[in-house]
Amino acid sequence: MLWCLILGGQRQRSDAVLNRGALKPITGARFRANPAYEIVLLDRLPYALREEIEGHGGKDSDTYGVLLPRLTGGLTPKTICHETALLFYSMAQPGPLPAYVHERLGAECNQAVAELVLDGVLEIADDDGTFRSGGGAEGLVYHADALELGTGSVSDLSREALRYGQLVPVDSSARLANRLYCYNTIPISPRWRARLPSTDAVERFLAMETGTSLRHLLSAHWELFTDPAPTGGWWRWRRLMSRGGPTPSVIDPTYKLYVSPAPEALPQVWPTIVRLLADLGAPAFKIGQDVMGLLRPDKIVVYFASFEDLARLGRELASELADCPAQGTPFTAAIGESGLLSWGMDPPAGNGTPQSSRHQSWRSWVTQRLAVALMAARQEVHGIEPWRFALQRMALEGVDVRTWAPSPRIWTRARSA
């Protein structure tokens, strides 16, 4: 998995979410470029890596090259802009930050440099003159009381997923991100396989096969549609154009309501969910169309163009489904305590990773970043558990890790950059 570093005007951060008091003032310290990295220009990269970067939109006029680890291990390749490359070259010899960095970043300087240290690009010297980065620099970058943990079932699930992630034996951040993304998926048991062996069986399970009143309600308000790319295990519905509702392609930003009932409760609650979606005019939604889709935590996702519309449906669902057993979707912002309802907001294109030119969901955006932080932090003992380090690093990305709520300012900055 590649990571992108942009130093300066296109940095995408949220002052509202980040507790700046958690960071120590470090800009007066001694730094050096991490000798475990080397810069390779784009046109001198191995062909396969260059194709991956260009194919994922990672090449633009500001891209200078890639920071490549000199050895295999926990470090992740990172595409860098010209200014980050200049800083890396400038810090080849240990010393204070160049004056231009303070002038260029101004009030953002402390946070930007902290991120470079935590990501292993720069190393910071401790009192003994030892240079540290990543999890090893946590005590030099953060105050001791930097991390405030959230409460509720979704927050608990998210921390359980991170604790699992710091122990699971995988050798790449991409594989670890997939494990985090799939956390709390119910295994496909023989009972569930026999109960839902086909999409026809799922239709009967949900009472929405052709000719049923529920299918009539769905067809009266929405149409099934197919994405240009394979949908992979989803039924996707969008508001009929005659109703005047926005289609998924024009919802920007995309607010997502996750509805996560326990799978055995679906036959009872799905008709109620559809009725409320119709009453409130939900523009688009999807539900898993096979056994695997219905056993994942984010089995029902509803899309909105505004948070107000999302919150209105959330209130109605919380009232009508108060007794519904929940499964819970990690790395989302909870609505209520049960874990049944939560929300997120999909990132726009150009949000700081080469993959961002393609559609990327909120949870994949989060889990990719968490995986990179976990892989970096678990390489050696640092006095902080990797899952706690990953949470602290995520807070600098503009996520309130107490609630897992995104800041709209992240996406606003991305669109204006």
Question: Is there a domain that residue 339 lies in?
Answer: no
109 plus 209 within the same structural domain? no
| Domain of 258, in residue numbers | 190-327
313 plus 359 within the same structural domain? no
List the pLDDT tens digit at each of the 417 positions of the chain. Answer: 444 554 544 343 333 334 444 789 999 999 999 999 999 987 787 777 776 666 554 455 577 888 888 876 667 788 888 889 999 999 999 999 999 999 999 988 998 999 899 888 999 999 999 999 887 888 888 876 656 778 889 999 999 999 999 999 988 888 999 999 999 999 999 999 999 999 999 999 999 998 899 999 999 999 987 655 454 689 999 998 755 554 545 445 589 999 999 999 999 999 999 999 999 999 999 999 999 999 999 999 999 988 999 999 999 999 999 999 999 999 999 999 999 999 998 876 544 443 333 457 889 989 998 998 888 787 655 567 889 889 888 888 778 888 898 776 555 544 433
213 plus 271 within the same structural domain? yes
246 plus 381 within the same structural domain? no
Token code pair at residue 377: 């932090």
Question: Is there a domain that residue 252 lies in?
Answer: yes
> Closest Cα partner for 77 from 63, 92, 91?
63
35 plus 76 within the same structural domain? yes
DSSP secondary structure of 294-354: HHSTT-EEEEESSHHHHHHHHHHHHHHTTT--B---TTSEEESSSSSEEEEEPPPSSSSSG
286 plus 365 within the same structural domain? no
Question: Is there a domain that residue 200 lies in?
Answer: yes
**1, HSE (Cβ side, Cα atoms, 13 Å):** 25
Token code pair at residue 89: 């070259």
Count the domains in the chain.
2
Question: Is there a domain that residue 172 lies in?
Answer: no
Q: Which residues contact 237 (CB under 8 A, 6 or more apart)?
A: 218, 222, 223, 224, 225, 284, 285, 286
Question: Is there a domain that residue 175 lies in?
Answer: no
pTM (predicted TM-score): 0.78
82 plus 144 within the same structural domain? yes
125 plus 238 within the same structural domain? no
Which of 327, 362, 391 corresponds to the end of one domain?
A: 327
Question: Is there a domain that residue 171 lies in?
Answer: no
DSSP secondary structure of 77-140: -EEEEHHHHHHHHHTSS-BSPPHHHHHHHGGGHHHHHHHHHHTTSEEEE-TTS-EE-GGGGHHH
| Partners of residue 32 on adjacent β-strands | 123
CB atoms within 10 A of CB 316: 17
9 plus 130 within the same structural domain? yes
Question: Is there a domain that residue 401 lies in?
Answer: yes
89 plus 228 within the same structural domain? no
Question: Is there a domain that residue 178 lies in?
Answer: no
> Closest Cα partner for 184 from 215, 161, 207, 205?
161
